[in-house]
């Protein structure tokens, strides 16, 4: 008998009909002979509503109490899904993070999973129950409720799949799977049947929002096949796996776009050892997350250092950069708040050459100027002007023959 | 250092301002040198909203899942109250029924408390924390969430007070205390400074809704002084205690009215042993709760048996009565759906005579016909026509000099 973990996001349980639909899907998986565990997020706007309640009381809610509060959102969802399964004549039991023994560290609002009590779920499987588990939440060693932060329910689902040694972890969402590019921007984008964990990790960090990278990391670490698929259809989605069949023949799996970046350039930075460390230590100390960094060739003992940040962190990044520039005796600090990043990702790049050239040529032919370039073993990213962002994504996507037809 | 338990009902935490007000009261009790535990109910309409969600899914929600669902209402309240205390610069921690170790039997939606882990709360007191505890809920031996049924938060508060050996259990409500009669019906009604547990139990079962009888039973059993008082003022309310000072001089403590009763009479019931047992076994088997029973003197080997039920159970009671009347060879079954019950309660009745006579005389002088009479050691109740109910309560209240002036 196979073990299946299904995860339904907040939009997939937002109405009574959708709750019944999710329940029906779990029942069908059970009737097909599987043991079924279902992870559910808070419904629709519930989490936002709960946060509003907190901020009506205080601007800075105590983090432990915030977790105690928002965790009720998933508890409501699991009770409703379990009721819907009961109402359809099947056995089900809902379990909160505490009840299922999902133990985390004590870092409220962004806890990390330490242990999952799989036995509790296996016991319920043995009774014939579908087990409905609250996503996003756990308890610390003292039974304080914790939450896992962004993408938490995906992480819960994959961690449970790992603890249960599940055959598959199905992530139900409102899109059909993982695409070669965002289909809203690239009409020819094609749904992928398979993608590797590493490619998915790169894409997730490059703005492909379909699955949180922490969940993918878990899947990769514990070898859990993850099936990203639509909650609205029966069509197969995208399998995230260790190795994709005929992997060698495909160099680029997908293209992605991150908008709303800003670029900071510190001019005339003295070309001495330790200078970059000082700059980025200061930026990190200001809690600004740096995306890409580029330092060009030194001229007369000084270099220009550029980096990108999320646009809403630009003001802090500029303040910090001006201060450190002064300390270092560097020149001006200039900003560009209209840059975007277009990337291609593919595990086949490891053994293929010419990928970068093909990308640069496509951008050049479309008249898109490349401001910065960064690469990893399986990714090439170019920082470009935001005005050309959509066009850049389309031409890169097409240049690698990713689309339909 | 004294230990104080405070309980706030749903209306006392319904808005952010009220949450802050409840928090302020707990802080003042702490600053006065007490260890403070606060029991909170679900806010305003939260429980009803959660029940609506359940009934949108199914007409008959699974009881375990219903408890899992509705228990989130109190969890939201305790997190908000704890946040408000933190925001005011004091230490607080919220605990669900599960976290505080309030263990019940496994009877979902109407569980009974079996054990409370006082040590967990004492540990938090030792850290200087105000402890905010979810009312109405517990867990069974397998960590399934249970709820205590009607009046559950009052019961939680008094049970915690018992487990903590608290010096007082303060029940905050939207009235000033326990009155000699419902002040909306009897303008001269007076707030009582003290009342005994036994009197409060009788009044609670006779429709004085200020405190649930299960909570009073707990207080009586564990000798917990209960202070029923207003959440809107600083005025002292009513102390519920073992013995009231100068108790002997007061015969009647209060008067109460239950409306919306219905009376069923089975005529010509054979006057044989076991007949009443058969009638009321059948009624109980139909899940109808019988209030008072009267059987008059036998004439020619047959008697009339009357009993009262809640008006909304009349149809079931009639159906069952007609069937059992046929089986017994009794006569007609007739109903009166416009009866009410007026009662006087007082522990002093035990040693005083003439209470019944004074009550009957007051009703007679007011032209109110008495249809049935029932008594206990500390109570006399009369079933009367509903049209005279308000007048009956007033004249009885005044006949015993209970009012102001």
| pLDDT at residue A246 in the model | 66
What one-character-per-residue DSSP string does A121-154 give?
A: HHHHHHTT-EEEEESSEEE-TTS-EEE--TTHHH
Which residues have C-beta within 8 Å of that of residue A77, sequence separation ≥ 6?
A10, A13, A19, A40, A41, A42, A43, A46, A134
| pLDDT at residue A374 in the model | 86
Distance, in Å, from the CA atom of A402 to the CA atom of A251, rounded to the nearest integer, reads 10
pLDDT tens by residue, A194-232: 999 999 998 887 866 678 888 999 999 999 999 999 988
CA nearest neighbour of B8 among B121, B173, B136, B144: B173
| pLDDT at residue B237 in the model | 95
| pLDDT at residue B350 in the model | 79
pLDDT tens by residue, A33-67: 999 999 999 998 999 999 999 999 999 999 999 99
Which of A57, A84, A87 comes nearest B84 by C-beta?
A: A57
Phi/psi at B89 (5° precision)? 90, 20
pLDDT along chain B (405 residues), means of 10: 94 95 97 97 93 95 97 98 98 97 94 93 97 97 92 93 96 91 91 92 79 89 94 92 72 90 92 86 89 77 88 92 93 94 89 85 93 88 94 94 80
Q: Order of strands across the sheet with A290-295?
A: A290-295, A302-310, A254-270, A333-345, A379-385, A370-376
| pLDDT at residue B247 in the model | 53
Distance, in Å, from the CA atom of A320 to the CA atom of A336, rounded to the nearest integer, reads 16
Chain B residue numbers touching A92 (CB-CB < 8 A):
62, 65
Residue B303 host element (H or E): strand B302-310
CB < 8 Å from B in window 1-40 of A:
16, 19-20
CA B396 to chain centre: 22
CA nearest neighbour of A120 among A131, A105, A134: A131
> How many CB atoms are located within 10 Å of the residue A292 CB?
18
- The strand ranges marked E within A215-329 are 226-230, 238-241, 254-270, 290-295, 302-310
Q: What does each C-alpha distance from A120 to A35, A129, A164, A187 come to in angstroms?
A: 13, 12, 10, 46
Residue A373's Cβ-count burial label (10 Å; 0-12, 13-18, 19+) is middle
Q: Do B98 and A94 touch (CB under 8 A)?
A: no
Q: How far is A339 from chain B (nearest CA, A)?
A: 40
Contact A53, B18 (CB under 8 A): no
Which residues have C-beta within 8 Å of that of residue B320, sequence separation ≥ 6?
B282, B283, B285, B286, B288
Which of A16, A69, A98 comes nearest B79 by C-beta?
A: A69
User: In this complex, is the C-beta atom of B54 within 8 Å of any C-beta atom belonging to chain A?
Assistant: yes
User: Three-state DSSP class for A260?
Assistant: strand
Distance, in Å, from the CA atom of B173 to the CA atom of B18, rounded to the nearest integer, reads 12
User: Three-state DSSP class for B32?
Assistant: coil
Complex prediction ipTM: 0.83
What one-character-per-residue DSSP string does B187-225 give?
A: TT--B-SEEEHHHHHHHHHTT-TTS-HHHHHHHHHHT--
Q: Order of strands across the sheet with B168-173?
A: B92-95, B130-134, B35-40, B3-8, B168-173, B226-230, B238-241, B194-196
| pLDDT at residue B405 in the model | 60
| Domains of chain A, CATH where assigned | 3-174 (3.40.1160.10), 254-399 (3.30.2130.10)
CA dihedral of A72, A73, A76, A80, whole degrees rounded to 10: -160
Chain A residue numbers touching B53 (CB-CB < 8 A):
76, 80
Distance, in Å, from the CA atom of A100 to the CA atom of A78, rounded to the nearest integer, reads 12
Contact B318, B240 (CB under 8 A): no
Contact A54, B80 (CB under 8 A): yes
First to last CA, chain B: 40
Q: How far is A233 from chain B (nearest CA, A)?
A: 22
pLDDT tens by residue, A312-357: 899 999 999 999 999 999 999 999 999 999 999 998 887 777 888 8
| pLDDT at residue A297 in the model | 67
Q: What does each C-alpha distance from A148 to A140, B74, B266, B280 come to in angstroms?
A: 11, 22, 65, 57
DSSP state of A299: B
Contact A249, A344 (CB under 8 A): no
Q: How far is A31 from chain B (nearest CA, A)?
A: 21
CA dihedral of A186, A189, A194, A197, whole degrees rounded to 10: -10
Which residues have C-beta within 8 Å of that of residue A13, sequence separation ≥ 6?
A19, A22, A40, A41, A43, A77, A80, A81
Which of B56, B65, B75 comes nearest A79 by C-beta?
A: B65
| pLDDT at residue A247 in the model | 53
Which of A53, A62, A83 comes nearest B62 by C-beta?
A: A83
Give the CA diameter of chain A: 79
Q: Do B68 and A79 touch (CB under 8 A)?
A: yes
Q: Do A58 and B87 touch (CB under 8 A)?
A: yes
> How many CB atoms are located within 10 Å of the residue B203 CB?
28
Q: Do B68 and A82 touch (CB under 8 A)?
A: yes
| pLDDT at residue B71 in the model | 97
Contact A358, A402 (CB under 8 A): no
pLDDT along chain A (405 residues), means of 10: 94 95 97 97 93 95 97 98 98 97 94 93 97 97 92 93 96 91 91 92 79 89 94 92 72 90 92 86 89 77 88 92 93 94 89 85 93 88 94 94 80
Q: Do B86 and A50 touch (CB under 8 A)?
A: no
Q: Do B57 and A94 touch (CB under 8 A)?
A: no
Contact A323, A282 (CB under 8 A): yes
CA nearest neighbour of A116 among A101, A133, A129: A101
User: In this complex, is the C-beta atom of B83 within 8 Å of any C-beta atom belonging to chain A?
Assistant: yes
Distance, in Å, from the CA atom of A368 to the CA atom of A372, rounded to the nearest integer, reads 12
| Helix%, strand%, coil% for chain B, nearest 5 | 40, 30, 30
Contact A108, A64 (CB under 8 A): yes
Which residues have C-beta within 8 Å of that of residue B84, sequence separation ≥ 6?
A57, A58, B19, B20, B22, B23
Distance, in Å, from the CA atom of B217 to the CA atom of B211, rounded to the nearest integer, reads 11
Query: Using alpha carbons only, how large is chain B's radius of gyration in Å?
Result: 23
User: In this complex, is the C-beta atom of A69 within 8 Å of any C-beta atom belonging to chain B?
Assistant: yes
Residue of B nearest to A18 (CA): B57
Q: Do B83 and A57 touch (CB under 8 A)?
A: yes
């Amino acid at each position: 008998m196979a073990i299946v973990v299904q995860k339904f996001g907040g939009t997939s349980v937002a109405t009574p009909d959708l709750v019944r639909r999710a329940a029906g899907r779990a029942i069908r998986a059970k009737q097909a002979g599987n043991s079924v565990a279902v992870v559910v997020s808070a419904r629709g706007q519930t989490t936002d509503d709960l946060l509003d309640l907190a901020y009506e009381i205080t601007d800075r809610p105590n983090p432990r109490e915030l977790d105690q509060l928002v965790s009720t959102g998933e508890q409501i969802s699991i009770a409703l899904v379990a009721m819907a399964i009961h109402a359809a004549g099947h056995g089900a039991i809902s379990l909160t993070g505490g009840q299922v023994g999902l133990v985390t560290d004590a870092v409220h609002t962004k806890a990390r999973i330490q242990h999952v009590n799989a036995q509790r779920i296996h016991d319920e499987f043995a009774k014939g129950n579908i087990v409905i588990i609250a996503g996003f939440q756990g308890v610390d060693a003292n039974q304080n409720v914790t939450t896992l932060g962004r993408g938490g329910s995906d992480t819960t689902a994959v961690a449970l799949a790992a603890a249960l040694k599940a055959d598959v972890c199905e992530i139900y969402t409102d899109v059909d799977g993982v695409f070669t590019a965002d289909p809203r921007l690239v009409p020819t984008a094609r749904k992928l049947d398979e993608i590797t964990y590493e490619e998915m990790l790169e894409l997730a960090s490059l703005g492909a929002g379909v699955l949180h990278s922490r969940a993918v990391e878990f899947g990769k670490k514990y070898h859990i096949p993850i099936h990203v698929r639509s909650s609205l259809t029966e069509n197969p989605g995208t399998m995230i796996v260790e190795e994709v069949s005929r992997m060698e023949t495909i160099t680029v799996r997908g293209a992605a776009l991150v908008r709303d970046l800003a670029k900071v350039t510190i001019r005339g930075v003295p070309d001495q050892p330790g200078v970059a460390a000082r700059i980025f230590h200061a930026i990190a100390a200001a809690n600004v997350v740096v995306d890409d960094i580029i330092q060009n060739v030194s001229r007369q003992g000084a270099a220009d250092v550029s980096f990108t940040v999320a646009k809403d962190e630009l003001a802090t990044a500029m303040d910090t950069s001006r201060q450190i520039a002064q300390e270092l005796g560097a020149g001006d600090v200039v900003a560009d708040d209209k840059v975007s990043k277009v990337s291609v990702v593919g595990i086949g790049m490891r053994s293929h050459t010419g990928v970068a050239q093909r990308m640069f040529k496509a951008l050049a032919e479309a008249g898109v100027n490349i401001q910065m370039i960064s690469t990893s073993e399986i990714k090439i990213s170019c920082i470009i002007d935001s005005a050309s962002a959509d066009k850049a994504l389309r031409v890169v996507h097409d240049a690698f023959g990713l689309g339909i037809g």
